[in-house]
Amino acid sequence: MEPINKISGKIAPLPMNDVDTDQIIPARFLKTTNKDGLGQQCFFDWRYTADGGLREDFILNQPEYQDASVLIAGNNFGCGSSREHAPWALQGMGWKAVVSTEFADIFRNNSLKNGLIPIIVDDETHRQLMSLAEEDPTTEVSINLEDQQLILPDGRKVEFPIDGFSKYCLLNGVDQLGYLMGLEDEIVEYEGSHDKRVVTTA
By CB under 8 A, tell whether 164 contacts another protein. Answer: yes
Q: Whole-number minimum distance, CB 19 to another protein, in Å?
A: 10
Give the total of residues touching another protein (CB under 8 A).
59
Residues 6+ apart with CB under 8 A from 96: 7, 9, 69, 70, 115, 116, 117
Nearest to 72 by CA among 104, 47, 95, 46: 95
Instruction: Judge whether 24 and 18 are in contact, CB under 8 Å.
Output: no
The residue within the footprint of another protein, chosen from 81, 91, 125, 139 (CB under 8 A), is 81
Name the one range near another protein by CB under 8 A: 3-11, 26-34, 90-98, 148-156. 26-34
Name the segment binding another protein (CB under 8 A); options: 59-67, 131-139, 142-150, 160-168. Answer: 160-168
Q: Is the dihedral angle over the CA atoms 169, 99, 63, 7 positive or is it negative? A: negative
Least separation in angstroms between CB 173 and another protein: 15
Contact 70, 141 (CB under 8 A): yes
Q: Which residue number, 154 or 181, has a Cβ lying nearer to another protein?
A: 181
Q: Is 30 in the site for another protein (CB under 8 A)?
A: yes
Find the part of the chain contacting another protein (CB under 8 A) among 3-11, 61-69, 71-79, 91-99. Answer: 71-79
Query: Could you say whether residue 180 binds another protein (CB under 8 A)?
Result: yes
Buried b or exposed e, range 102-123, using 16+ CB within 10 angstroms: bbbebbbbbbbbbbbbbbbbee
Binding footprint of another protein on the chain (CB under 8 A): 15-18, 20, 22-23, 26-28, 30-35, 45, 50, 74-76, 79-85, 102, 104-106, 109-110, 113-114, 163-165, 168, 175-177, 179-181, 183, 186-187, 190-191, 194, 196-202
